[in-house]
Structures are given as structure tokens and as C-alpha cells.
Chain A
Amino acid sequence: MNPYGCWTLFRKEVWRFLKVSVQTVLAPAVSTLLYLLVFGVVFEEAVVVYEGHSYSSFLIPGLVMMTLAQNAFANSSSSILQSKMNGNIVFLLLAPLSALEVYLAFLGAAIARGLVTGGAVLLIASLITPVTLHSALLVLLFALLSSGVMGALGIIAGIWSEKYDHLSAFQNFIILPLTFLSGVFYSIQDLPPFWRAVSSWNPVFYLIDGFRFGFLGVSDVSFGASVVVATLFLLLLTLLSIAILRSGYKLRG
């Protein structure tokens, strides 16, 4: 094992996004707050999703989760793709690091960026509107699971992509629809039966629903089911990522 090597790669990946924190932390935080201002103001009085909770308090967990998920994905995917395109991935490939160690380092850094960005949104949102917290532990658990799932997806996307166009396709045709159609802005209970059934196949729905339960104590499905689905999904993506890294697919010629 090379734990120090793994730690160094993790540290380097965190260092990388912190060096451009305006782009990687501040910009996503600001754009998410714009969603909150626009949707929150427009629908605050008109929409009640859960009895006893304002629309803003329903929306905030969803927006935080959306930011967290998108940034965790962006961290691992863009770092890997950029290194491949610049050619500096060789420094990593020449190092005595196993597939598992590389995976853990990229995943850890993706989780770190997800938590930092999501935390920034939550902090600023809480200054604008009161945020209730039902269980901090569940909030943290789902934040970790979600950024882990998206970080692992980012690793796979970064390895598979050969140019930014590919990554953009992955982001726009897979990640964005999964996020937007997961109940960030609405409860799936308000959807027609067909779309409700479709949403139940969307793993991101369980991430957001479980996360929201941590804030409001109310959810569309039981938080236990969300924990199981999210954990299984993370496990599946972990196995897939490690297998891809071990095979050298699109990394080692």
C-alpha cells in the first residue's frame, strides 16, 4: 500500500480546486443563489409542497444538493480530462499508485469540493431565509453519499471522454436531466403516475429526497430506502471505476 501517495494525490486535487476557488466554489454558489431568489420569490406564496414548510425551505436542500452533486462531478471529471489532454496524466501513471488508491484520492477530492460548495450555498442561503435542520447526521450522510456518487461518475466520465465535447455531452445529457428531474424544485408526489414511476428509477431522486428529509423531517419516500439506493449506487460505481482504472482503459495505451 502507498497511503502517503494516495494522500498526496487527494491533497493535490483539493489544492487544484482551491487555487481557482472563484470559479470552482464562488461561481456555483452565486448561480445557485440566483435560483433561490427567482424561484423562492415567485413561488413562495403560490406553492406549498409539504404542509407547514415554506417553498424556500423546501427548495434550499434541493439546491444545495444540486450544487454539491454537480461540483463533485465536475471536480473529478475535469481534472482527469484536463490531465489527459495536457499530457500531464503521465506523472500520475508513472507513480506507484494502485487503481484503488487513485480512485480513493479522486473520490475524496470530489467529496471535498462537493461539501465546500454545498456548504457555501447553505451558509449564504441561511442568511437570506431561515433553514430548519431535522437531523444534521442525515444531512451529512446524504451529502457524503451524493458527492461520492457524483465524484465516481465524474471519474468514469473523465476517463471515457477524449475531449471537452464528450464531457459536456455527459454533463448535459446525463447529469443535468438526472438532477433536474429528481425533485429539486417539486415533490414527485405532485407528478402524474407515469412520471412518478420514471422518477423512482432516478438514483439522484433518492439522494435529494434523503437529503431533504435531513432538513425537514418529511420526504417522498422513507429515508431508509434512500440510504439503501444511494449506498448500492455508490458501491456499483465504485466497482466500475476501479475496474476501469485497473484495466488502463483510455489511460494506459
Chain B
Amino acid sequence: MESVAALGLNRVEKRYPTTHALKEVSFRVERGEFFGLLGPNGAGKSTLINIMGGLVRATAGQIQVMGHDVVSEFRQSRSQIGIVPQELVYDPFFTVWEMLTIQSGYFGLGRENHHWLEELLEILNLTEKRNENLQRLSGGMKRRVLIAQALVHRPPVVVLDEPTAGVDVELRRALWAFAHRLHQEGHTIVLTTHYLEEAESMCDRIAILNQGELVALNDQQDLIAQYEHLIGVIEHRLEERLPTWVEAAVVTRSRNRTQIHVPREPQQQQQFLQQLSAIGIDGGQIQLREPTLEEVFLSLTGSQSGSNGRSEAIPV
């Protein structure tokens, strides 16, 4: 018998009057996974997360959280999931502590949960701010409160919707350390991020959404290995007026380096290199390497990298 997944998505559809936001998206997130949900802006990531939390209703299909349907068993499913929203939202009437006790109360938890709330304040370095009105906190502190609010009921599934968008380096590191800690404590983590470097270093498996469709779902290494191209690195700039089929293969072209797509399949690869040789590009000059997650992502989503061979993660 198949075990109950942390998240089970079955042909989830969302249509708005003018947009088809999600197109039959299906996948499972297993318990204890650190799962990355990637996609360019408008790909449908936030819509999908909002359906998981009951903030948005799917047009068709089902989502289950720890085996509970998000519509028909909303009480159980919402008790099993904690969502950290992308926007810095807060209630200006209350202090940090008041807000946490209110949020905890919504889940039916009273004084018996205060010890955990105190612990959350400490873990997230909010103890000194506990009696501060939320309106008076900095953006970073508000982000920490959002995380604390999502965790008041100790949910086994934690969804972080672009938690590092617009935060400084120090806080970003602190947030990732905290996400790691939650994962080690047994929580299932679903992460969406604009920073592919983060997804690459933290996630076990990755799903890529593009225009509402699931275009990839796999273990990171498998995702890269399944990619039909390798990257050929040529340590000089190739001239601009090459035959169309070569131009189509160019990934990046900088002052002293050109990177091109080279078929992974050996026979096709050999044929491609021979064709290059025939127009004066010696195969011996080309160093082959595996693509990075970012390169796979950009190729699958058709996004423009705008990158000139830089190695750092770029917002997509």
C-alpha cells in the first residue's frame, strides 16, 4: 500500500477569466523531503501554494495535505500545513506576542502552547521585540514574525513562499539555517525561491512550473542528467556570423569565452562535433561539462538568462 504523502496533487487546475494559471498539475511530496518549487514569475507557484492552504479554490483536481483533502477536510489539512506568505503582511493593531497567541488560538491552542511560542520567539530572535507593535518592526523582523505565525501549531508540512525575497544577506543565511533545522527535526519543507543557488544547495527534489504546467520533476542530479544537452565551453569568443544551427546552440558569449549546447547522446555528439570541425571549430578546444540547475531551468522555462557566463545565482 502506498504511504500517505506530505502533499499529494492530482490534476490541479486553476482558471481565471483571462488566464489558465494551472494546467493539470500532479505530483507528490514525500514526508521529510526538502522540496523546491521553481518557476519564473507568473508560472503558477503562488497559486498552487495558495490552493494548498485553502486561500484559493482550484477549478478542478484535488490537493491532499498529509492525506487530508484541502476542501472537504479543511480543518485537518490546515492543521497539518504552515504557510509563510510571500508578502510582508501584518495586523497593525497587535504586538508580536499578541499576534502569536491569536494565531495559536485560531488552531484551538491556548495557554498550553505558550511554551512553544516562547521557544519560537527565541529561535527567531524575536524575544526582545515581543511587546513591540508589528507596525514598528523592520522588514526583516516582520518576515521572522510571519515564519513564527506559520509555525504556531507545529505543522509537519512547512511551505516557504519566496522567504528570502528582498531580505539582506545576514537574514537570508539565518532563514536558511532555520529551514535546515526544521528539516532536520522532521518537517517536510516546500520552498519556492528566485535564487536557484539556494534551491540547488538545499532541495532534495525539484519541480519546475512554467506557464501553469509542470515541465520537470525530479531529483536535482537526475534533472541535470536527463537534460539532453551538455555545455561545451570554448575559451575564446566565437565570431558572430556563424551558420544558424551553431548560433541556435550558443548559450552565452562573453569577451573571451563561448558556451554552446552539445548533444548528450554520444552518436549525436560525435556528429555535432564533426560538423563544428568542418566549419573550423576544433572539437579539441571544447571542454564538456554538465549543465547547472540554472541552465536547465532557463532552458525548460524558456527564460532569458541575460547572463554572460557569471557563476552566481541570478533572480529569475
A residues sitting closer than 8 Å to B (CB atoms) are 2-5, 7-9, 11-12, 15-16, 19-20, 83, 86-88, 90-98, 248, 252-253
In the A-B complex, the 8 residue pairs with the smallest Cβ-Cβ separation, listed nearest first, are A8-B105, A95-B106, A87-B89, A96-B75, A253-B56, A96-B78, A4-B108, A88-B91
A96 and B103 contacting across the interface, CB-CB below 8 Å: no
Contact status B102-A2, CB under 8 Å: no
Q: Could you give 23 example pairs across A and B, Cβ below 8 Å?
A: A4-B109, A5-B107, A8-B102, A8-B105, A9-B106, A15-B93, A86-B89, A87-B85, A90-B85, A91-B106, A91-B149, A92-B106, A95-B78, A95-B103, A96-B74, A96-B78, A96-B107, A96-B108, A98-B75, A252-B56, A253-B50, A253-B55, A253-B57
Please name all residues of chain A whose beta carbon is closer than 8 Å to the beta carbon of B85 when the two chains form the complex: 87, 90
Please indicate the chain B residues that have their CB under 8 angstroms from the CB of A83 in the complex.
91
A200–B226 alpha-carbon span in the complex (Å): 76
Question: Is A8 in contact with B106, judged by CB distance below 8 angstroms?
Answer: yes
CB atoms of A12 and B102 under 8 A apart? yes
Please name all residues of chain A whose beta carbon is closer than 8 Å to the beta carbon of B292 when the two chains form the complex. Answer: none
Contact partner of B106 among A5, A15, A87, A252, CB < 8 A? A5
Flag whether B54 is at the interface (Cβ < 8 A).
yes
Given contacts A95-B107, A248-B57, 11 further A-B contacts (CB under 8 A): A4-B109, A9-B105, A12-B105, A15-B94, A15-B98, A16-B93, A19-B93, A91-B89, A93-B53, A98-B75, A253-B56
CB distance from A238 to the nearest CB of B (A): 21
Shortest Cβ distance from B100 into chain A, in angstroms? Answer: 11
In the complex, what residues of A have CB within 8 A of residue B76's CB? 96
- In chain B between 43 and 94, which residues have their CB closer than 8 angstroms to a CB of chain A? 50, 53-57, 74-76, 78-79, 83, 85, 87, 89-94
Residue of B nearest to A83 (CB): B91
Chain B hits for A20, CB < 8 A: 93
Q: Which residue of A lies closest to B21 (CB)?
A: A253
- Please give, as numbers and ranges, the residues of chain A lying within 8 Å of B110 by CB-CB distance: 4
Contact of A5 among B83, B87, B92, B105 (CB under 8 A): B105
Cross-chain contact B57 with A5 (CB below 8 angstroms): no
Question: What's the nearest-Cβ distance from chain A to residue B303, in Å?
Answer: 25
Q: Are B87 and A96 in contact (CB under 8 A)?
A: no
Tell me whether A2 and B108 are in contact (CB under 8 A).
yes
Query: A5, A88, A92, A252: which has the most chain B beta carbons within 10 Å?
Result: A88
Residues from chain B with a CB closer than 8 A to the CB of A92 are 106
**CB-CB < 8 A to B50: which residues of A?**
253
A87 to B105 alpha-carbon distance, docked (Å): 20
Which residues of A have CB within 8 Å of B105? 4-5, 7-9, 11-12
Contacts of A86 in B (CB 8 A): 89-92
Whether B55 and A96, one on each chain, are in contact in the complex, defined by CB atoms closer than 8 angstroms, is no
> In the bound complex, how far is the Cα of B55 from the Cα of A188, in angstroms?
48
Task: Tell me, in angstroms, the Cα distance from A86 to B79 when the chains sit together.
Answer: 24
A94: B residues at CB distance < 8 A: 53-55, 78, 83
**In the bound complex, how far is the Cα of B83 from the Cα of A90, in angstroms?**
10
Q: How far is the CA of A9 from the CA of B78 in the complex (A)?
A: 16
Distance in angstroms between the alpha carbons of A8 and B106 in the assembled complex:
6
| In the bound complex, CA of A7 to CA of B79 (Å) | 17
What's the minimum C-beta distance from B44 to chain A, rounded to whole angstroms? 13
Tell me the complex Cα distance, A51–B233, Å: 102
- Nearest-CB residue, chain B, relative to A3: B108
Complex CA gap A247/B89 in Å reads 24
Tell me the complex Cα distance, A86–B78, Å.
22
